[in-house]
Amino acid sequence: MNEADIIELVTAALWTATQISAPILVTAVVVGVLMGLLQSVTQIQEQTLAFVPKFAAVGVAIALTGGWMLRTMTDFTLEIIARIPDLL
């Protein structure tokens, strides 16, 4: 196992983590910004008001993309397991 293999493995792991977390993070950021704008316009500065829509939107994002996330993680895990003999 050489240094290039380790770098490739770490890069693949980081890229997979980025892909899996993107739908949830983007949803949370977009809803957070929209709720912040709505609170600014209406001058309602209640912190819990922004939490509930963000929580619901993230739940919907997980429900919609959960299968894809699970497949992506499973594929990556199987690839790593298949590469174990080459890494030793």
Q: Delimit the domains of the chain by residue range.
A: 3-87
- Whole-structure pTM value: 0.80
Q: How far apart are CA 58 and CA 79, in angstroms?
A: 29
Mean pLDDT on 24-34: 95
At 34 the pLDDT is 93
Q: What is the mean pLDDT of the chain?
A: 91
Q: Cα 67 vs. chain centroid, distance in angstroms?
A: 13
More confident residue, 50 or 33: 33
Q: How confident is the model at residue 48 (pLDDT cuts 50, 70, 90)?
A: confident
